[in-house]
Structure 1
Amino acid sequence: MKKRVHRRFTYEFKWEVVKQYLDGMSRSEVSKKYGLTEKDIDRWSKQSRVWDLLQTSKNPMEKLRQLQRENQRLKRENRNLKKLMMTRFK
């Protein structure tokens, strides 16, 4: 089995790849052009949306904290709902 080498890419390179994908080039075309996997392109695309959200915010650190708090709240609610379902259907 061939050992896979972990490659690192600059933010600028990732942005160029995502930009081409968002401009209409298919994932398979972009992945072949740059020798990437389609998963890489999906992951970078998601990361770019979060980055854009933080950049457009007036206070990006506060926005990040707000999103983290909301994430914790949703996890707590999910846990509580699971507990409730377990006790109801025993």
Structure 2
Amino acid sequence: MEKRARRSFSKEFKEQVVKLYLAGKPRNEIIKEYTLTPSAFDKWIRQHKETGSFKEKDNRTPEQEELIRLRKQNKQLAMENDILKQAALTKGRK
């Protein structure tokens, strides 16, 4: 099976698709007419219902937010640790 190239859709397009669905157009017809994947379509409907936004950052769970925050903090601490190691090496040479 050939893999499709990843497509991106504008916010306006996603809103139009959601409006068609909310107006009563069947899910399968929308997916077929616009050659969408069912998972993308379902995701847009869910995002519209939950937050009204299609931006990933607006649809993160608290756990996803915490993971992002902890990864940033870990990166910052690793950089600080490297700086301290370099300072200790420089001081030891003098």
Please report the TM-score for the alignment, with normalisation by the length of structure 1: 0.54
Q: Percent identity?
A: 40
Please report the TM-score for the alignment, with normalisation by the length of structure 2: 0.52
The number of equivalent residue pairs is 58
Structure 1 position 14, deviation (Å): 0.5
Structure 1 position 27, deviation (Å): 0.5
Larger Rg belongs to: 2
Q: Could you tell me which runs of 5 or more consecutive residues in structure 2 were left unpaired when the two chains were aligned.
A: 67-94
Pair 1:16 & 2:10 matched: no
What is the CA RMSD across the aligned residues, in angstroms?
2.4
Moved over 6 A (4+): none
Q: Could you tell me which runs of 5 or more consecutive residues in structure 1 were left unpaired when the two chains were aligned.
A: 54-63, 73-90
Corresponding residue for 2:25? 25
Corresponding residue for 2:35? 35
Corresponding residue for 1:6? 6
1:37-76 aligned within 5 A: 37-52=37-52, 68=62
